[in-house]
Amino acid sequence: MAFSASVGALQAFEGLKALTSSNGKNIIDWAASTVEFLWMFVSCYAIALGDLGTNEKILYSSFVAYTSFGWVYGAYSTFVQGSEGKEVLVISKLVYVVSVIFGFYFSSYSIFILSGNGVQ
């Protein structure tokens, strides 16, 4: 659960960085994306095991849903922008805002669960 909080903080940081910087991706961004990608499969595995409390189910399910929607949006954007002849994918600032909000939510909810609060 502590690593979940770290993943959420990483997402929030990445979103804030993308909103405030015009630089391209660097090695840290790629590493963070890899961690988030792998955490998707960890979340799926945790859900599949089924030995989770209500809070954990909500937490992991929300990460899977968020990441899945992100992949669908990315594929759709690539298709649309590719068909328009764009060579560089343009990502809306709204996507980064949603990333920041989700990162804060995911990190906060993880900490909330770690503190022993919530639905049992």
Q: Output the pTM of the full model.
A: 0.84
Task: Sort 88 into a burial class: Cβ within 10 Å, 0-12 / 13-18 / 19+.
Answer: exposed
* Torsional sign, CA 64, 20, 28, 23: positive
- Please tell me the number of Cα atoms within 13 Å of 96 on its side-chain side: 14
Specify if 120 maps to a domain.
no
CA angle (81 as vertex; 77, 86 as ends), nearest 5: 140
Q: What is the pLDDT of residues 71-91, one digit of tens each?
A: 999 888 888 877 777 777 778
* pLDDT tens digits, one per residue of 18-30: 888 777 667 777 8
How many separate domains does the chain show? 1
Domain that holds residue 79: 2-114
Domain membership flag for residue 119: no
| Type of residue numbered 112 | F
Distance separating the N- and C-terminal Cα atoms of the chain: 15
Please report which confidence band the pLDDT of residue 47 belongs to, taking 50, 70 and 90 as the band edges: very high
Q: Where are the alpha helices (DSSP H) in the chain?
A: 2-20, 27-49, 54-83, 93-114
Q: Is residue 102 part of a domain?
A: yes
